[in-house]
Amino acid sequence: MFQYAAVAGAGAAAAAAGAAGAGSGAAGAGTGIAGIGAARTGAAGATGTESGAVGAGGVPGVQGGRGGDGRRRGKEVATYVFVTGANGVAAADPELTLRGHRTVGVSLPGHGPEEQFHRAYQAPQDLAELATRPSPMAGVTLDDYVEATVDAVRRVSGHGPVILVGGSLGGATITKAADVVPDLIDLLVYDTAFCCTRLRSPNDYLSTPEGKESLAANVVAGIVADPAVIGALRVNWRTNDGEFLRAVKAAFMAEASEGELLAMLNTLLPDESLQVGSADARGHKEAWGRVPRVYIRHTRDRMIPLALQDRMIKDADATTPDNTFKVFSVEASHAPTAETYRQITEILHKLAR
């Protein structure tokens, strides 16, 4: 998921900024991946191709070695490191593992279910306690997310190529992680994710004309605590309010069945950081800009509209004209269904071949 950020206090625009990403924190119901999904525009069958097509040969730098430090990887097994968006939990992709790859989800600070789930959030809910209970996300910053991600990258990098995948708000995290350890990352994958270059933060991009069609503000009605009181954004994803559920479905997972939507929402954590969406998430040309990268567009995304995804791709490519995005597209909402996510798994699988 994303960040319905400064909703409380800063107005609907900030709120939208926060909400965009809610799908990212919880990938398609039944997939177990927070914030991943996609396939390409004009895709033939499950995978299709794209500009600079990454076919069976994969993306240069993954299978053949790491280029930046001169180490060759040969046929070593790639590790996919997944970074969730807002409100998501650490999760990997079991299908990629079955296909012979290593996969791991990054445990972000404050994102442990054991830290956020409590009896007040269970039915019947104690809304009074939810409104005042301190949040484990209070004070958590983008730097904290980056530190956890860099630690995971360092731990797996000695075992083979590293493909770092970020969904939605997770894009901000993988960009800054690449600034820290560019030579340990063989490929960056943005799955309908924020990639900040010309503008400072995800919230700034959501405030552009391309972001104005976002339905992020649909999340506002689910906020159940004053951010100034608990130090975080808290959304009651487990409400049975029909109007809110319809609004969230339209924003995050329009093509899903009721069961798929509820399964996705029930995986989400209620609390998210107040600070990450407005943090400086710009990548630097001399570090992030050297790492090969892929963007998976979600053509039906109503949280990070397609026009905004395309603007971020264009801005990034203008920043590093010698290292541009390989672009894939899938007909999916922000949070893909299990059926749609299978197309993304296929794309991810071929990136390492």
Taking the domains of the chain in order of start, what are their residue ranges? 2-351
Kindly tell me if the per-residue pLDDT of 15 is higher than 50. no
SS3 234: strand
Buried (b) or exposed (e) across 55-65, using 16+ Cβ within 10 A?
eeebbebbbeb
Q: Is the peptide bond before 124 cis (omega within 30 degrees of 0)?
A: yes
Q: Percent of the chain, pLDDT > 90?
A: 78
DSSP-derived pairing of the beta strands 233-234 and 271-272: antiparallel
Q: Is the pLDDT of residue 212 over 60?
A: yes
Q: What is the mean pLDDT of residues 307-323?
A: 98
Residues with Cβ within 8 Å of residue 310, at least 6 apart in sequence:
210, 297
Tell whether the model's pLDDT for residue 213 goes beyond 90.
yes
Which stretch of 3-17, 123-137, 309-323, 332-346 has the lowest confidence by average pLDDT? 3-17
- 96 vs 103: CA distance, rounded Å: 7
If you average pLDDT over residues 60-79, what whole number do you get?
Answer: 61
Q: Which of 207, 198, 226 is nearest to 277 (CA)?
A: 207
Token digits of residue 87: 């409100």
The per-residue pLDDT for 20 is 36
Are 65 and 189 in contact by the 8 Å Cβ rule? The answer is no
- The answer, yes or no, to whether residue 289 has pLDDT greater than 70, is yes
Q: Comparing 3-7, 168-172, 195-199, 203-207, which segment has the lowest mean pLDDT?
A: 3-7
Query: Residue 11: its pLDDT value, please?
Result: 36
Residue whose pair of structure tokens reads 């029909």 in the numeric block: 242
Residue 261 CA from chain centroid, whole number: 18
Give the mean pLDDT of 244-273. 97
pLDDT at 65: 56
108, 19, 315: which is closest to 196 by C-alpha? 315
For range 58-63, the mean pLDDT: 55
pLDDT in tens, 114-140: 999 999 999 999 999 999 999 999 999
pLDDT grade, residue 353 (50/70/90)?
Answer: confident
Q: What is the pLDDT of residue 72?
A: 42
Beta bridge partners of 51: 327
In degrees and rounded to multiples of 5, residue 3 shows phi and psi of -150, 105
User: What amino acid is encoded at 271 in this protein?
Assistant: D
Q: What is the mean pLDDT of residues 245-250?
A: 98
Give the range among 73-82, 145-154, 249-258, 269-278 with minimum mean pLDDT: 73-82
Q: What is the pTM of this model?
A: 0.85
Across residues 229-257, what is the average pLDDT? 97
Token pair 């340990």 in the structure block, residue: 184
End-to-end CA distance of the chain: 29
Please compute the mean of the pLDDT values over residues 263-292 and round it to a whole number.
97
Query: What pLDDT does residue 39 have?
Result: 27
State the pairing for strand pair 293-298/187-191.
Answer: parallel
Tokens of 47: 């995978």
67 has pLDDT over 80:
no
Question: Which of the two residues, 195 and 25, has the higher pLDDT score?
Answer: 195
Residue 293 phi/psi, 5° resolution? -145, 155
Question: Does the structure show a pLDDT above 50 at 47?
Answer: no
Residue type at 14? A
**Residue 338: Cβ-neighbour burial (10 angstroms; 0-12, 13-18, 19+):** middle
Over 90: is that where the pLDDT of 89 sits?
Answer: yes
Whether residue 73 has pLDDT greater than 80 = no
The torsion defined by the Cα of 298, 300, 306 and 308, in degrees rounded to 10, comes to: -100
Which of the four pLDDT bands, split at 50, 70 and 90, describes residue 271?
Answer: very high
Taking 70 as the threshold, does the pLDDT of residue 12 lie above it?
no
Rounded to whole angstroms, the Cα distance separating 49 from 186 reads: 21
* Ramachandran angles phi, psi of 282, nearest 5°: -75, 140
How confident is the model over 11-38, as a mean pLDDT? 34
Find the radius of gyration of the CA atoms of the chain. Answer: 18
Q: Mean pLDDT of all residues in the chain?
A: 85
- Retrieve residue 29's tokens: 């119901």
What superfamily does domain 2-351 belong to in CATH?
Alpha/Beta hydrolase fold, catalytic domain (3.40.50.1820)
What is the arithmetic mean of pLDDT over 22-44?
31
- Average of per-residue pLDDT across 327-334: 97
